[in-house]
Protein backbone atom coordinates (compact mmCIF):
# COMPACT_ATOMS: atom_id res chain seq x y z
CA UNK A 1 0.00 0.00 0.00
CA UNK A 2 1.54 3.31 -1.04
CA UNK A 3 -0.79 5.75 0.63
CA UNK A 4 -4.38 6.62 1.32
CA UNK A 5 -6.46 9.65 0.66
CA UNK A 6 -8.21 11.17 3.54
CA UNK A 7 -10.42 14.21 3.51
CA UNK A 8 -13.38 15.95 5.00
CA UNK A 9 -15.10 19.31 4.80
CA UNK A 10 -14.37 22.01 7.34
CA UNK A 11 -16.93 24.59 8.39
CA UNK A 12 -16.57 26.20 4.95
CA UNK A 13 -17.61 22.88 3.31
CA UNK A 14 -14.72 22.94 0.84
CA UNK A 15 -13.45 19.37 0.70
CA UNK A 16 -9.77 18.71 1.31
CA UNK A 17 -7.70 15.62 0.72
CA UNK A 18 -4.32 14.61 2.09
CA UNK A 19 -2.16 11.53 1.67
CA UNK A 20 -1.63 9.23 4.63
CA UNK A 21 0.87 6.43 4.88
CA UNK A 22 -0.23 5.37 8.33
CA UNK A 23 -3.41 3.34 8.57
CA UNK A 24 -4.52 0.46 10.75
CA UNK A 25 -7.77 -1.40 10.12
CA UNK A 26 -9.15 -3.56 12.93
CA UNK A 27 -11.94 -4.31 15.36
CA UNK A 28 -12.53 -2.60 18.70
CA UNK A 29 -15.03 -4.75 20.60
CA UNK A 30 -17.21 -5.57 17.53
CA UNK A 31 -16.76 -2.07 16.09
CA UNK A 32 -14.90 -1.85 12.75
CA UNK A 33 -12.16 0.70 13.34
CA UNK A 34 -9.68 2.65 11.20
CA UNK A 35 -6.77 4.24 13.08
CA UNK A 36 -5.02 7.16 11.38
CA UNK A 37 -2.12 9.36 12.51
CA UNK A 38 -2.55 13.05 11.62
CA UNK A 39 0.11 15.72 12.13
CA UNK A 40 -1.11 18.67 14.22
CA UNK A 41 0.51 21.06 11.72
CA UNK A 42 -1.69 19.88 8.82
CA UNK A 43 -4.84 21.63 7.62
CA UNK A 44 -6.48 18.21 7.83
CA UNK A 45 -5.89 18.20 11.60
CA UNK A 46 -7.80 21.48 11.95
CA UNK A 47 -10.69 20.24 9.78
CA UNK A 48 -10.81 16.96 11.66
CA UNK A 49 -11.15 18.76 14.99
CA UNK A 50 -14.08 20.77 13.59
CA UNK A 51 -15.96 17.91 11.92
CA UNK A 52 -15.00 14.83 13.99
CA UNK A 53 -15.40 12.63 10.93
CA UNK A 54 -13.47 11.65 7.82
CA UNK A 55 -13.29 9.19 4.98
CA UNK A 56 -10.34 7.04 4.00
CA UNK A 57 -10.04 6.32 0.29
CA UNK A 58 -7.68 3.69 -1.08
CA UNK A 59 -6.13 4.87 -4.37
CA UNK A 60 -6.05 2.86 -7.57
CA UNK A 61 -2.90 2.04 -9.56
CA UNK A 62 -1.80 4.96 -11.69
CA UNK A 63 -2.67 7.56 -9.03
CA UNK A 64 0.93 7.89 -7.76
CA UNK A 65 1.36 11.53 -8.89
CA UNK A 66 -1.86 12.51 -7.14
CA UNK A 67 -0.72 10.75 -3.95
CA UNK A 68 2.59 12.64 -4.10
CA UNK A 69 0.90 16.01 -4.72
CA UNK A 70 -1.74 15.62 -2.02
CA UNK A 71 1.02 14.67 0.43
CA UNK A 72 3.15 17.71 -0.32
CA UNK A 73 0.83 20.72 -0.62
CA UNK A 74 -1.69 21.97 1.91
CA UNK A 75 -5.40 22.60 1.59
CA UNK A 76 -4.73 25.89 3.38
CA UNK A 77 -3.57 27.38 0.08
CA UNK A 78 -4.59 24.76 -2.51
CA UNK A 79 -7.84 23.23 -3.75
CA UNK A 80 -6.39 19.75 -4.22
CA UNK A 81 -9.68 18.22 -5.42
CA UNK A 82 -9.84 20.70 -8.30
CA UNK A 83 -6.11 20.79 -9.06
CA UNK A 84 -5.92 16.99 -9.26
CA UNK A 85 -9.24 16.67 -11.10
CA UNK A 86 -10.71 14.46 -8.38
CA UNK A 87 -14.46 13.82 -8.23
CA UNK A 88 -16.29 13.96 -4.89
CA UNK A 89 -18.49 10.89 -4.45
CA UNK A 90 -21.84 11.46 -2.69
CA UNK A 91 -21.51 10.42 0.94
CA UNK A 92 -23.84 8.11 2.82
CA UNK A 93 -23.09 7.93 6.54
CA UNK A 94 -20.85 10.97 7.13
CA UNK A 95 -20.78 14.49 5.66
CA UNK A 96 -17.29 14.11 4.21
CA UNK A 97 -17.28 13.37 0.51
CA UNK A 98 -15.28 10.45 -0.79
CA UNK A 99 -12.90 10.33 -3.76
CA UNK A 100 -14.66 8.52 -6.59
CA UNK A 101 -11.40 7.69 -8.42
CA UNK A 102 -10.39 5.49 -5.45
CA UNK A 103 -11.28 1.82 -5.21
CA UNK A 104 -12.18 1.34 -1.53
CA UNK A 105 -13.92 3.88 0.70
CA UNK A 106 -14.29 3.92 4.48
CA UNK A 107 -16.69 6.34 6.18
CA UNK A 108 -15.53 7.10 9.72
CA UNK A 109 -16.59 8.95 12.85
CA UNK A 110 -13.95 9.83 15.43
CA UNK A 111 -14.37 7.64 18.54
CA UNK A 112 -10.97 8.08 20.20
CA UNK A 113 -7.99 10.44 20.01
CA UNK A 114 -4.59 10.29 21.62
CA UNK A 115 -1.22 11.97 21.23
CA UNK A 116 1.14 9.83 19.22
CA UNK A 117 4.75 9.83 20.46
CA UNK A 118 7.00 9.43 17.41
CA UNK A 119 10.03 9.20 19.72
CA UNK A 120 8.75 5.89 21.10
CA UNK A 121 9.07 4.17 17.73
CA UNK A 122 12.23 2.15 16.98
CA UNK A 123 15.21 4.49 16.33
CA UNK A 124 15.75 3.24 12.77
CA UNK A 125 12.17 4.15 11.81
CA UNK A 126 12.46 7.60 13.40
CA UNK A 127 15.76 8.37 11.65
CA UNK A 128 14.54 7.05 8.29
CA UNK A 129 11.10 8.70 8.14
CA UNK A 130 11.22 11.51 10.74
CA UNK A 131 14.81 12.86 10.72
Ligand X SMILES: Cc1cc2nc3c(=O)[nH]c(=O)nc-3n(C[C@H](O)[C@H](O)[C@H](O)COP(=O)(O)O)c2cc1C
Give the interface with ligand X as residue ranges (CB under 6 A).
Answer: 3, 16, 18-22, 37-39, 42-44, 68, 71-76
CB of 43 to ligand X, least distance (A): 3
Length of the chain: 131
DSSP string, 49-95: HHH-EEEEEEPPTT-HHHHHHHTTS-TTT--HHHHTT--EEPPSSSS
CB of 30 to ligand X, least distance (A): 26
CB of 27 to ligand X, least distance (A): 21
Taking the least distance from each CB to ligand X, the nearer of 22 and 30 is 22
> Which residue minimizes CB distance to ligand X?
71
Amino acid sequence: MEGFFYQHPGKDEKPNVMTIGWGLVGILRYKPTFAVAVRPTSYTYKLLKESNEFTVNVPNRGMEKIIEYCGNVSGRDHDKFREMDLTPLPRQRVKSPMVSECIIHYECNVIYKTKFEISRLPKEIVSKYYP
